[in-house]
């Protein structure tokens, strides 16, 4: 098995109340998704490991991922949730720092007001991450890119990674304001980007690789190869595709790159960013 690492996937025991974002249009993922469901897909696609990312906003979620990791050694790292706005954030980070599998944290900012990342309490939380060596995953819609740019500019020693290429509106083909934001945020040395979550921003029922190409072009024109990593966004990808198809789409797109650069995107960048 090759050593590819999936930088972004989720596990959950489906709970209709907690997981209300998984609505009727997403029936395919209204069920449990656990390590034993992912493992065969990783093996079929030459992956030796993955990074499990929080899907709900609670420390229970972080603890749930922490319970799964020791039993499944292919879970190489965890991006958990902690309330970054909490006054005792340093204490909470200290607590989690005893768990070596936790590599960073994420907040579902796409569900917050567009000025959320300007909040003083949130920024205080971000400033506490560095002393513990934690990364931060930026999950936003493209309209929130200006706030994200301001954030990464203010914390230039903090490693950030943009999830799902900042969710451009691939379905409508709108690219202009998103592209402007990507050109700006990519200038910052502390920012990486996950090539993930694209199929679910496209037309679920009939997207084709050509729909994704203009967006991939922008990412590859602006981010150096050592800042890019593959993420499947499994099982969310199931509403629009399947694991192997998402992998193949990127394989085809980067087939012109040197093997060395391809390996960076499939594994090395994820390993070094998350210190796996």
CATH T-level fold of 4-274: TIM Barrel (3.20.20)
Return the sign of the alpha-carbon dihedral for residues 66, 201, 271, 244. positive
Residues of the chain with pLDDT under 50: 1
**Sequence-ordered list of residues with C-beta below 8 angstroms from that of 137, at least 6 positions apart, any chain:** 53, 79, 104, 105, 106, 160, 161, 163, 194
171-190 tens-digit pLDDT: 998 899 999 999 999 999 99
pLDDT at residue 1, as a whole number: 42
Encode burial over 175-208: b for 16+ CB neighbours within 10 A, e otherwise: beebbebbebbbeeebbbbbbbbbbbbbeeeebe
| Statement: the pTM of the whole predicted model exceeds 0.95 | yes
**Sequence-ordered list of residues with C-beta below 8 angstroms from that of 40, at least 6 positions apart, any chain:** none
pLDDT at residue 130, as a whole number: 96
Dihedral pair phi/psi, residue 11, rounded to 5°: -125, 145
pLDDT at residue 17, as a whole number: 87
User: Rounded CA gap, 66 and 165, in Å?
Assistant: 27
* Domain spans of the chain, in order of start: 4-274
Rg, C-alpha atoms of the chain: 17
Q: Calculate helix-pair angle for 176-185, 209-222, nearest 10 degrees.
A: 30
87-144 tens-digit pLDDT: 999 999 999 999 999 999 999 999 999 999 999 999 999 999 999 999 999 999 999 9
């Amino acid at each position: 098995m090759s050593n590819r690492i999936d930088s972004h996937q989720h596990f959950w025991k489906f709970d209709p109340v907690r997981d209300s974002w998984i609505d009727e249009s997403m029936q395919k993922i209204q069920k449990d998704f656990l390590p034993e469901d992912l493992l065969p897909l990783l093996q079929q696609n030459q992956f030796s490991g993955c990074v499990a990312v929080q899907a709900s906003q609670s420390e229970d979620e972080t603890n749930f991922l922490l319970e799964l990791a020791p039993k499944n050694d292919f879970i190489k790292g965890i991006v958990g949730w902690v309330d970054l706005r909490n006054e005792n954030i340093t204490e909470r980070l200290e607590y989690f720092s005893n768990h070596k599998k936790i590599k960073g944290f994420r907040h579902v900012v796409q569900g917050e007001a567009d000025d959320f990342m300007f909040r003083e309490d949130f920024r205080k939380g971000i400033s506490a991450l560095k002393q513990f060596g934690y990364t931060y995953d930026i999950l936003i819609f493209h309209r929130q890119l200006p706030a994200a740019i301001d954030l990464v500019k203010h914390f230039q020693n903090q490693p950030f990674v943009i999830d799902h290429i900042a969710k451009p509106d691939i379905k409508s083909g709108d690219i202009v304001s998103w592209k402007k934001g990507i050109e700006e945020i990519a200038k910052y040395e502390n920012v990486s980007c996950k090539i993930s979550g694209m199929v679910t921003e496209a037309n679920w029922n009939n997207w084709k690789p050509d729909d994704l190409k203009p967006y991939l072009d922008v990412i590859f024109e602006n981010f150096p190869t050592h800042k890019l990593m593959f993420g499947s966004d499994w099982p969310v990808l199931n509403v629009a595709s399947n694991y192997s198809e998402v992998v193949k789409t990127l394989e085809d797109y980067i087939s012109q790159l040197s093997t060395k650069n391809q390996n960076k995107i499939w594994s090395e960048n994820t390993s070094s960013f998350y210190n796996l």
